[in-house]
């Protein structure tokens, strides 16, 4: 696990500035504190920061082929590298190292850009073909590893993190009005956008090439929900999944340094742990988080129970409101994109616990929900669609019934009453991107005239609507799983997972997001995943007998950070001062009165927690990244 950066000047007469390249590398030193390397030749410069995981002695980068005509800088892990190495050696390639990195350059020599289709793992890499004067950037299928780029018109600049791009004076820090609106619609940015105009994410399952000044982005993988030719029974699918889980977790255990498990005490992380202990004779360390105070959901008893069952060396850390508040500026600095994910703060402290225990690699259960249908939203919207079909033309009666339930105290049914007359896309997007969420209801009063004018005719929910159009012939559940896998997963959950663990120089691996598992899950019928009120049905069946029943049957909680209570009590003054400061950057875009109204409603307990936290993060982000260039020294420096 590492950090990469680089630049390609389109004018092949101009070399890359060595000082710039080293500055870019310095800004991502946390991703690779164990070493650095650079390659400059003609118009290209490649930079690398190394976190040593595999081949500790000879795995330094940039790395080349035998004659130095192909060079690569790479971030990630290729889990099938030994198999690929054997094939390449049979073809006559000579290896200088035992690292997975070297496989990429030799595989490229054999099959060119199609090398990405043979790589199984998490990766982002930049490869320079000296003979052809050609640059290849690639990102893994699911988007576990990030990669950003910008075309200045004179050069292409790229890096694992945005801050490296901002080191180049040619990169302007213009906040895009439409991207800002889209961020306040989803609470993250789906697709290839960032909040900066001209800075983009290379999307998962895509690669980018530059040759003769021409840039081309192509997709090489997409998730397809297609039933297998011979439909397996449910029991046969359970057996096949057990074998696949065992092989996949074993592959993810490959490391020359200690491996631990991020243990929440939920089904997914405990399931990963249950397979991890089978494939090592070394002690496994597990790490979990709790929160100081009363009345908070606490996952530590479940995590401790799983630790005791599987005989791990267990570590716990407790987070306070003060720790949460003091870390927020650093949270924004490391995240770089104002993603509204309070659990990401908790993840940082858990990863720090692993770092302090000298554990460089953590396995996580991330992805089980998106692969096998683990969110209550899936179940609720499936039920709503079933009811709508049952009522047919009489859907008005269904709406009336929901309204009646809301009036007698079941307030959540008011939301479903609103949705009875809309389509699946609107149901699904009602979590964030719909007229029913607070920001979208408030935008007319929140946005100032300049921002509103810039958004004339703009549809903020276009990215997910386009994705729904691609799978409109699929079942209801599979439509939702597809959209989540292409947006919510890479652009919110995985960016959080990467940035927060790499901030502590720890590598996070996600076995349940191996593309073989995703494709297997996609091949199963809907009711193997969600049936009635049962979520992740086939996964839970596969883990039954190894994962304790108390964990299999427990209600999903996620990382329940009590930020709502903290922001209304211990952090009340901090929230008020940050959002309503007379020099607040938010006033460039929003009405001060509307912000005050939102904060007041939150303090009264009238909801809006996510919206207030979102504005809080945005204000800190604007101060750090949209201001003077001196902010690149980091928060508090």
Grouping H, G, I as helix, E, B as strand and the rest as coil, residue 612 is: helix
Q: State the Cα angle at 5 between 55 and 500, rounded to 5°.
A: 75
Look up residue 555 and give its DSSP letter. P
In terms of Cα–Cα distance, which of 371, 361, 620 is closest to 520? 371
Evaluate whether 470 touches 327 at the Cβ level (below 8 Å).
no
Residue partners of 469: CB distance under 8 A and separation at least 6: none
Evaluate whether 598 touches 449 at the Cβ level (below 8 Å).
no
Q: In angstroms, rounded to a whole number, what is the distance separating the alpha carbons of residues 264 and 117? A: 33
Q: What is the rounded (10 degree) CA torsion for 378, 380, 382, 388?
A: -150
Evaluate whether 501 touches 347 at the Cβ level (below 8 Å).
yes
Token readout for 245 is: 């889980």
Token readout for 97 is: 């190292």
3-state helix, strand, coil in the chain (%, to 5): 50, 15, 35
Q: In angstroms, rounded to a whole number, what is the distance separating the alpha carbons of residues 158 and 151? A: 9
Grouping H, G, I as helix, E, B as strand and the rest as coil, residue 80 is: coil
Annotated active-site positions, please?
2
Residue partners of 356: CB distance under 8 A and separation at least 6: none
Q: How many Cα atoms within 13 Å fall on the side-chain side of residue 31?
A: 29
62 cis-preceded (ω within 30 degrees of 0) = yes
The pair phi, psi for residue 448, each rounded to 5°, is -80, 170
Say if residue 367 is exposed, middle or buried (CB neighbours under 10 Å; 0-12, 13-18, 19+).
buried
Residue whose tokens read 């992740």: 536
Strands (E), 421-541: 507-509
């Amino acid at each position: 696990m590492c950090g990469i950066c680089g630049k390609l000047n389109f004018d092949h007469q101009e070399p890359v500035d060595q000082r710039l390249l080293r500055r870019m590398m310095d800004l991502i030193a946390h991703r690779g504190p164990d070493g650095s390397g650079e390659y400059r030749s003609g118009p290209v410069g490649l930079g690398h920061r190394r976190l040593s995981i595999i081949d500790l002695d000879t795995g330094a980068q940039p790395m080349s082929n035998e004659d130095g005509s192909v060079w690569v800088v790479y971030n990630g892990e290729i889990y099938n590298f030994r198999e690929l190495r054997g094939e390449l050696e049979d073809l006559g390639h000579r290896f200088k190292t035992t690292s997975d990195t070297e496989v990429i350059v030799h595989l490229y020599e054999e099959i060119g850009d199609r090398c990405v289709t043979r790589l199984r793992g998490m990766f982002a890499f930049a490869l320079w073909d000296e003979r052809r004067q050609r640059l290849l950037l690639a990102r893994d299928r699911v988007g576990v590893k990030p990669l950003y780029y910008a075309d200045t018109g004179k050069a292409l600049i790229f890096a694992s993190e945005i801050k490296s791009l901002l080191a180049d004076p040619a990169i302007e820090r213009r906040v895009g009005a439409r991207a800002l609106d889209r961020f306040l619609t989803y609470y993250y940015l789906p697709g290839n956008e960032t909040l900066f105009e001209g800075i983009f994410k290379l999307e998962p399952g895509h690669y980018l090439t530059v040759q003769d000044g021409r840039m081309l982005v192509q997709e090489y993988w997409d998730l397809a929900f297609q039933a297998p030719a011979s439909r397996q029974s449910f029991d046969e699918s359970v057996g096949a999944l057990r074998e696949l889980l065992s092989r996949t977790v074993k592959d993810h255990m490959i490391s020359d340094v200690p491996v631990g498990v991020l243990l929440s005490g939920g089904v997914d992380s405990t399931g990963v742990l249950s397979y991890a202990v089978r494939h090592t004779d070394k002690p496994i360390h597990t790490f979990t988080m709790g929160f100081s105070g009363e009345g908070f959901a606490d996952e530590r008893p479940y995590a401790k129970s799983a630790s005791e069952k599987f005989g791990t060396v267990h570590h716990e850390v407790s987070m306070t409101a003060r720790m949460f508040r003091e870390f927020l500026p650093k949270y924004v600095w490391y995240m770089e994109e104002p993603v509204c994910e309070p659990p990401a703060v908790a993840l940082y402290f858990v990863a720090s616990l692993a770092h302090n225990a000298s554990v460089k690699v953590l396995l996580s259960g991330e992805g089980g929900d998106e692969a096998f249908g683990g969110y209550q939203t899936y179940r609720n919207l499936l039920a709503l669609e079933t009811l709508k079909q049952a009522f047919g033309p009489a859907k008005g009666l269904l709406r009336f019934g929901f309204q009646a339930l809301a009036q007698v105290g079941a307030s959540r049914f008011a939301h479903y009453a609103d949705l009875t007359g809309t389509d699946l896309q609107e149901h699904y997007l009602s979590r964030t991107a719909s007229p029913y969420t607070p920001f979208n209801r408030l935008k007319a009063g929140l946005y100032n005239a300049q921002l509103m004018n810039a958004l004339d005719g703009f549809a903020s929910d276009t990215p997910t609507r386009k994705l729904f159009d691609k799978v409109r012939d699929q079942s209801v559940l599979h439509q939702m799983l597809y959209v989540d896998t292409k947006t919510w997963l890479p652009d919110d959950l995985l960016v959080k997972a990467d940035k927060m663990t790499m901030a502590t120089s720890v590598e996070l691996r996600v076995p349940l997001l191996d593309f073989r598992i995703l494709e297997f899950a996609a091949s199963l019928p809907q009711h193997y995943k969600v049936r009635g009120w049962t979520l992740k049905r086939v996964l839970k069946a596969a883990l039954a007998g190894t994962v304790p029943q108390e964990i299999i049957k427990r209600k999903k909680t996620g990382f329940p950070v009590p930020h709502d209570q903290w922001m209304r009590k211990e952090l009340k003054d901090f929230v008020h001062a940050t959002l309503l400061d007379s020099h607040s950057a938010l006033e460039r875009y929003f009405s001060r009165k509307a912000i005050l109204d939102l904060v007041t409603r939150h303090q009264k307990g009238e909801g809006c927690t996510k919206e207030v936290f979102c504005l809080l993060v945005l204000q800190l982000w604007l101060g750090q990244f949209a201001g003077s260039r001196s902010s690149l020294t980091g928060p508090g420096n």
